[in-house]
Amino acid sequence: MKDKILFGYTGLFDTPDSIINAAKKASEEGYKKFDINTPYPVHGMNKAMKLPPSKLGYASLVFGLSGTISALLFMYWTSVLDYPIVIGGKPFFALPAFVPIMFEVTVLSAAIATVLTMIIVYFKFPNISHPLHDTDYMRKVSSDKYGICIQADDELFDESKVQLFLKELNAQSIAPVYFDDEETENKPSAFDKKFIALLAVVAIIVSGSTYILLNKVVYSVPFNWMMNQNKISPQQSNAFFSDGFGMRNPVEETISRGNLPYQFKNKPEEAGLLLANPLAFTEENINLGRNKFDIYCSPCHGYFGNGDSRLRGQFPNPPSLHSEKVRNWKDGNIFHVITEGQNIMPSYSSQLTRQERWAVVLYIRALQRAQNAKESDIQ
């Protein structure tokens, strides 16, 4: 036993009162490196041992807040910067909708970080060995005794004095505790290179297999049957048809719903003779016509149909709508021009529905009347 290194002296007590007393005396004597071992936390022991309050709260504060902030920044980055998508008309940065996840991430990171801090900093994990383990002392304090252990590396430690001190406190089974040989040589720590390398290997294996699982395995047989279905996808070629295209055009002359073909294609005179404006001269129709005229016609024809284009010569100016010719046109002729286009004016049949086109015709008539008012109109 002589070659063993002394760790400290231990003594046992029977009641919580006596261990509190022992702790008080030990700290009054000036011992710094002593410890109390009790099967459960004894009230008032921290005060008796003169321990400063635990600082673990700061760890949870720091890690919890970093969790909140990183969750917020991450959601901001994904939803505003990296891939903004409008969902349900909400703004990209929808703070109220981000709150639940910010809260959950805060709790998660604070809880994990606090426990890890305790385990690594205070329990010295992964070093789970200690001279006190596997001693009779430990077997008793983990069940029903209260123990004190004064360590040999304390400045005031003196073998005979400590023995006397424990005896004066009426401690039972006072005994020395020695280091195991293995323990003195081998001291693992969380910051050991080997341990960190082990963690890194585990992290690489876990992330690698997750990546392969999520990005490769689920796209291979038999999990991909939904992706390779027995049907022709858009833009796919197909040998079944003589032209080799998978996509088919509709049969010629097919009429899509709501798009009756225009009967007077290239027949402006007949349009003028046979078409009549179905809309009544009401305020509602005039307003619709003005709205559409201002949007689609006014850029070239001007707000009042004078041919004063706002396009500053980038597109030739059209003639005025107040000319003798246009004023004498039938409604059907104007409708025909809007539908078919004329000279360099394109067709507006896809921008304006039939009803809207007739409303524009009404509005043009109103403009013409306003610019060429008769005596009888002024009343």
Partner 1 sequence: MEVLDYSKELSVIEGRPALREIDEIISKPLNTKPDKKYFIALLVTLSMVGIGAISLGLSFYYGTGLWGNNNPVGWGLPIVNFVFWVGIGHAGTLISAILFLLRQKWRNGIARFAEGMTIFAVMTAGIFPLIHVGRPWLAGYLFPYPNQHSIWVNFTSPLLWDVFAVSTYFTVSFIFWFVGLIPDFATLRDQTTNKIKKVIYSVTSLGWRHSNRHWQHYEMVYLILAGFATPLVLSVHTIVSFDFAVSIMPGWHTTIFPPYFVAGAVFSGFAMVQNVLIFIRKIFNYEHIITLDTLEKMNKVILFTSMLVGYAYGMEFFIAWYSGVQVEQFTFINRAFGPYSWAYWIMVSCNVLFPQLFWIKKIRRTIPFMFVIAVLVNVGMWFERFVITVTSLSRDYLPSSWAYYKPTLVDAGILIGSFGFFFTFILLFTKTMPVVSIAEVKAVAEGSQPSHGEH
Span from 30-38, 258-266, 308-316, 338-346 in contact with partner 1 (CB under 8 A): 30-38
Site for partner 1 in 70-89 (CB under 8 A): 74-75, 78-79, 82-83, 85, 87-88
Closest to partner 1 by CB, 44 vs 319, is: 44
| Shortest distance (Å) from residue 1 CB to partner 1 | 22
Site for partner 1 in 119-158 (CB under 8 A): 119, 122-125, 127-130, 132-133, 138-139, 141-144
Q: Which amino acid is at 88?
A: G
**At a CB cut-off of 8 Å and minimum separation 6, what does 169 contact?**
11, 13, 18, 21, 22, 25, 148
Size of the site for partner 1 (CB under 8 A): 76
| Shortest distance (Å) from residue 4 CB to partner 1 | 19
> Which alpha helices (H) appear in the chain, and where do they start and end?
16-29, 45-48, 56-76, 95-117, 136-141, 159-168, 181-185, 193-215, 268-274, 283-292, 298-301, 324-328, 331-340, 354-371
- The answer to the question of residue 29 lying near partner 1 (CB under 8 A) is no
Measured between alpha carbons, how far is 85 from 207 in angstroms, rounded to an integer?
28
| Shortest distance (Å) from residue 11 CB to partner 1 | 15
Radius of gyration over every alpha carbon of the chain, rounded to an integer in angstroms = 45
- The answer to the question of residue 184 lying near partner 1 (CB under 8 A) is no
The residue within the footprint of partner 1, chosen from 201, 214, 295, 311 (CB under 8 A), is 214
Site for partner 1 in 279-338 (CB under 8 A): none
Q: How far is CA 190 from CA 83, 108, 129, 195, in A?
A: 39, 22, 14, 6
| Shortest distance (Å) from residue 183 CB to partner 1 | 11
Closest to partner 1 by CB, 55 vs 312, is: 55
The residue within the footprint of partner 1, chosen from 12, 22, 26, 36 (CB under 8 A), is 36
- The answer to the question of residue 107 lying near partner 1 (CB under 8 A) is yes
- The answer to the question of residue 16 lying near partner 1 (CB under 8 A) is yes
Closest to partner 1 by CB, 100 vs 258, is: 100
- The answer to the question of residue 35 lying near partner 1 (CB under 8 A) is yes
Query: Which among 223, 341, 365, 197 is positioned nearest to 281, based on CA atoms?
Result: 365
Span from 10-18, 156-164, 178-186, 228-236 in contact with partner 1 (CB under 8 A): 10-18
> Where does residue 379 rank: exposed (0-12), middle (13-18), buried (19+ CB within 10 A)?
exposed
Site for partner 1 in 216-255 (CB under 8 A): 218, 223, 226
DSSP string, 111-180: HHHHHHHIIIIIS-TT----TTTTSHHHHHHTTT-EEEEEETTSTT--HHHHHHHHHHTT-EEEEEEE--
CA atoms lying within 13 Å on the CB side of residue 48: 20
